[in-house]
Amino acid sequence: MDAFLSGLKGAVDTLGATVLLPVVIFIIAVILGAKAGKAFRAAVTIGVAFIGINLVLGLMLGAIGDAAQAIVKNTGIHRDIVDVGWPSAAAIAFGSSVGLWVIPIGIAVNVLLLVTRLTRTLNVDVWNFWHFAFIGSLTTAATGSLGYGLVAAALMAALALLFADWSARAVQQFYGVPGVSVPHLASAQILPIAIVLNWLIERIPGINKIDVSTETVERRLGVFGEPVVLGLFIGLILGILAFYNAGDFSTIIAKVLQTGMTLAASMLLLPRMVKILMEGLLPVSEAAHEFVAKRAGDRELLVGLDSAILIGHPAAISSSLILVPIAILLSIILPGNRVILFADLAVIPFIVALTAPVLRGNVFRMVIVGTVTLAVGFYVANALAPLFTSAATASGFKMPANAVQITSIVDGFLWISYVVVEAIQNLAVAGLVLLAVIIGGCFWLYRRNTAAWERAAGATDDETAEAA
> pLDDT, tens digit, for every residue of 47-89?
888 788 778 878 877 887 788 778 778 877 777 888 888 878 8
Instruction: Flag whether 25 is in a domain.
Output: no
Q: What percent of the chain has pLDDT over 70?
A: 89
**CA distance linking residue 194 with residue 259, whole number of Å:** 29
Collapsing DSSP to helix, strand or coil, 171 comes out as helix
Q: Which residue has the higher pLDDT, 119 or 67?
A: 119
What's the pLDDT score for residue 185?
92
Q: Give helix then strand counts, H and E, for the chain.
A: 21, 6
Instruction: Flag whether 210 is in a domain.
Output: yes
What's the pLDDT score for residue 225?
58
Find the range with the poorest average confidence among 14-23, 157-166, 262-271.
14-23
Task: Spell out the long-range contacts of 291-298 with Cβ–Cβ below 8 A and sequence spacing 24 or more.
Answer: 291/32, 291/33
Nearest to 151 by CA among 166, 170, 137: 137
Domain that holds residue 198: 2-15+78-259+293-467
Tell me the sheet residues that pair with 83: 407
Give first-to-last CA distance, the chain, whole Å: 43
Q: Which residue has the higher pLDDT, 197 or 298?
A: 197
What's the pLDDT score for residue 17?
63
| Segment 422-436 mean pLDDT | 94
What's the pLDDT score for residue 386?
92
What's the pLDDT score for residue 54?
78
Instruction: Flag whether 41 is in a domain.
Output: no
**CA distance linking residue 349 with residue 268, whole number of Å:** 16
Q: How confident is the model at residue 161 (pLDDT cuts 50, 70, 90)?
A: very high
Burial of residue 8, with CB atoms counted within 10 A of its CB: 0-12 exposed, 13-18 middle, 19 or more buried: middle
Q: How confident is the model at residue 468 (pLDDT cuts 50, 70, 90)?
A: very low
User: pLDDT at residue 218 above 70?
Assistant: no
Domain count, the chain: 1
- Please name the residue ranges forming H helices in 297-362: 314-333, 348-352, 355-358
Query: Mean pLDDT over all residues of the chain?
Result: 85
Instruction: Flag whether 275 is in a domain.
Output: no
Collapsing DSSP to helix, strand or coil, 130 comes out as helix
User: pLDDT at residue 467 above 60?
Assistant: no
Instruction: Flag whether 20 is in a domain.
Output: no
- Other beta carbons within 10 angstroms of residue 200's beta carbon come to 11
What's the pLDDT score for residue 280?
80
| Segment 309-335 mean pLDDT | 87
What's the pLDDT score for residue 429?
93
**CA distance linking residue 65 with residue 395, whole number of Å:** 26
Instruction: Flag whether 38 is in a domain.
Output: no
Instruction: Flag whether 380 is in a domain.
Output: yes
**CA distance linking residue 11 with residue 431, whole number of Å:** 34
- Report residue 89 CA to chain centroid gap: 14
Instruction: Flag whether 30 is in a domain.
Output: no
Q: Which residue has the higher pLDDT, 223 or 21?
A: 21
pTM recorded for the entire structure? 0.84
Q: Which residue has the higher pLDDT, 94 or 462?
A: 94
Find the range with the poorest average confidence among 52-66, 249-263, 341-355, 419-433.
52-66
- 118 close to 443: Cβ distance less than 8 angstroms: yes
> Which residues contact residue 51 at a Cβ distance below 8 angstroms, ignoring those fewer than 6 apart?
18
> Which residues contact residue 32 at a Cβ distance below 8 angstroms, ignoring those fewer than 6 apart?
284, 287, 288, 290, 291
| Segment 443-447 mean pLDDT | 94
| Segment 385-407 mean pLDDT | 82
Q: How confident is the model at residue 313 (pLDDT cuts 50, 70, 90)?
A: confident
- 395 close to 137: Cβ distance less than 8 angstroms: yes
**CA distance linking residue 123 with residue 305, whole number of Å:** 7
| Segment 208-220 mean pLDDT | 75
> Which residues contact residue 429 at a Cβ distance below 8 angstroms, ignoring those fewer than 6 apart?
none
Nearest to 64 by CA among 235, 188, 231: 235
| Segment 279-286 mean pLDDT | 77
Q: What is the pLDDT of residues 356-393, one digit of tens each?
A: 999 999 999 999 999 999 999 999 999 999 999 888 88
